Amino acid sequence: MRQLINALLKYKNTLIYLGLLIISLVFLNQRSFYHQSVFSSTALSLSSKFNMAGQNLSSYLDLAKNNEKLIAENIKLKTLELIHFTEKFPKKRAIDTFAFQVMGARIIKNSYNRARNYLIIDQGYKDGIETEMGVISSDGVVGIVNQVTTDFSSVISILHRDLKINASFKKNGAYGSLSWQGKHPNRMKLNDVSTLNPVMEGDTIVTGGMSDYFPHGIPIGKVFNFQKPELEGYYDIDVELFSNLTQKKFVYVLKNTKKDQLNQLKNESR
């Protein structure tokens, strides 16, 4: 109590000044229309700023939750898009029989200027990621998971000279092996395509579906140049990728839910 009294005595002049100021402002507000409008405008402005700050704080706190919802919606849409690419049955049946589970991830490191390039994503064992899972983006193939820790995964990029992707022509199903030559990050070679098949510039190249990593029909790129050697039975085909791998931030990891069955058949047939 003594400390309170001492504080009041110490700041009595300031308190008296503030009290008189408040009283004078109240009188001005009651007796002058001009001051009334000024005070109302000031109060409205301050109130709006406080409300806006509160809304911004609330929106910031809800941001993580909204991002999770957005990612979940994107994954659902990507799953439906993949089903559309591989659609051989009515849609209802296709959803029930689709062999791949789609998971989202963010790229935290990406190389594309070496002979053998890798990516690192922010999902690992605890998120359901395993080795030998296919990785795609919103507009094409990205690579294959090769190492996994608890929280992160390493992905062999398709811009890796040792990686070959099974690919085919959308128009007729003729297939070959897609590989990177270590030069332009948007150019690849499609090898082993028989000259018995017609090829034209602009033909769309998609995943061939003959591996455990990717379903059939995911767009990869288009033919921008090809040659038909006279003495050989296979084309020399250059493919331009749809996806710009130097600008990727988000990817989708594909889990083949029927991989164990496929591996069992492969082991039994050896």
For the chain, the domains span 99-268
pLDDT interval class at 231 (50, 70, 90): confident
pLDDT interval class at 94 (50, 70, 90): low
Q: Are the beta carbons of 147 and 130 closer than 8 angstroms?
A: no
Q: Are the beta carbons of 152 and 121 closer than 8 angstroms?
A: yes
Least confident of 70-84, 125-139, 207-221, 235-249: 70-84
Phi-psi region of 248 (alpha: psi -120 to 50; beta: other; left: phi over 0): beta
Asked: is 99-268 a CATH 3.90.600.10 domain? The reply is no
What is the arithmetic mean of pLDDT over 21-36?
A: 58
Greater model confidence, 8 or 167: 167
Least confident of 17-26, 70-79, 149-158, 233-242: 17-26
What is the pLDDT, as a whole number, of residue 89?
A: 45
Per-residue pLDDT tens over the stretch 160-204 = 999 999 999 999 999 999 999 988 999 999 999 999 999 999 999
DSSP string, 123-177: --GGGT--TT-EEEETTEEEEEEEEE-SS-EEEEEEEETT-EEEEEETTT--EEE
Residue 176, H or E segment: strand 175-179
What is the pLDDT, as a whole number, of residue 9?
A: 62
What is the arithmetic mean of pLDDT over 224-244?
A: 92
Query: Nearest-CA neighbor of 170 among 205, 144, 139?
Result: 205
- Confidence check: pLDDT of 117 > 50: yes
The pTM of the whole model exceeds 0.85: no
Bridge partners (DSSP) listed for residue 154: 120, 147
| Pair of tokens at residue 89 | 């049955």
CA 190/CA 180 separation, integer angstroms: 9
What is the pLDDT, as a whole number, of residue 14?
A: 72
What is the pLDDT, as a whole number, of residue 172?
A: 93
pLDDT interval class at 260 (50, 70, 90): confident
Percent share of the chain, pLDDT over 90: 50
pLDDT interval class at 49 (50, 70, 90): low
Q: Are the beta carbons of 265 and 154 closer than 8 angstroms?
A: no
- Confidence check: pLDDT of 102 > 80: yes
Greater model confidence, 150 or 20: 150
Q: Are the beta carbons of 86 and 95 closer than 8 angstroms?
A: no
What is the arithmetic mean of pLDDT over 27-32?
A: 57
What is the pLDDT, as a whole number, of residue 48?
A: 47
What is the arithmetic mean of pLDDT over 222-230?
A: 92
Greater model confidence, 157 or 44: 157
- Confidence check: pLDDT of 270 > 90: no
Least confident of 30-44, 141-155, 219-233, 253-267: 30-44
